[in-house]
Amino acid sequence: MLNIAIDGYVGSGKSTLAHALAKRLNLKVLDTGAIYRSITCFYQEKFGNLVSGDLVEEFVKDLEVKVEFKGENQIVFVNGKDYVNRIRQEEISVLTSELAPYISIRNKVLSVQRKFAKEYDCVIEGRDIGTVVLPKANFKFFITASEKTRAERRYCQIKDKQKVSLEQILQDLQIRDYNDTHRKIAPLVPAKDSIILDTTDLTLEQTVEKCLEIIKEK
């Protein structure tokens, strides 16, 4: 199987890159963030925004996650429900960064990810793909960009759907960066053999071409 791992910071462009690479290489793509976000939507329905170890352990006991595709569109079902219309809301993004470090939730997502990688030639993106999920991936890319650039990208992505300021986006991004890089389990770090790409001054097409060049060389 051909497995490509893409990790990186929020707003770095890793999701867009994953889909672009998958299209160019005729691979399946798994949006890990959408899985975590969908789980968060279900959690919020049950417990609101209160997060504690006891609540998470109770929550995971009956948690069922399935990934299906309609054409190229990935749909995540959590206990039979589809949350595609809510997963990009900023409050879900922030709550997800609080829930994601819990090992019981990570193990649930890990089983989905590894099953997918065994069944398909694919691109999987997230924050611990190269280090934990697919340590033997054929290619590993770690995507980053400046805080300002990432905040602006995120703002352009959601400004027409949500009432949120660029300043709030930047603040939330900084919180999520801290949570992602300081969690005890599977923190956001490049794998030792990752290829690090700073996309601050790169267009999507330029980033895609760089990755394709590296893949073709190897």
Q: pLDDT by residue (tens digit) across 136-171?
A: 999 999 999 999 999 998 888 888 778 888 999 999
Lookup result for tokens 């805080």: 147
Residues 125-142, mean pLDDT to the nearest whole number: 95
Rounded to 5°, the CA angle 146-148-149 comes to 65
Across 93-120, average pLDDT: 92
CB 140 within 8 A of CB 7: yes
Q: Is the pLDDT of residue 72 over 80?
A: no
Of all residues in the chain, the percent with pLDDT exceeding 90 is 74
The residue among 128, 127, 126, 169 whose CA lies nearest residue 147 is 169
End-to-end alpha-carbon separation of the chain, Å? 16
Nearest C-alpha neighbor of 180 from the set 122, 117, 106: 106
pLDDT digits (tens, 9 = 90+) for 44-71: 999 999 999 999 999 999 999 999 988 7
Report which DSSP code applies to 101.
T
**Computed from CA positions of residues 203, 193, 72, 64, in that sequence, does the dihedral angle turn out positive or negative?**
negative
- Under DSSP, the state recorded for 179 is H
Write down the CATH number for the domain with range 3-210: 3.40.50.300
Say what the pLDDT of residue 193 is.
95
pLDDT above 90 for 121: yes
Distance of CA 71 to the CA centre of its chain: 20
- pLDDT of amino acid 179: 87
3-13 pLDDT, tens per residue? 999 999 988 98
The pLDDT mean for the chain works out to 92
Express the helix, strand and coil content of the chain in percent, nearest 5 each: 50, 20, 30
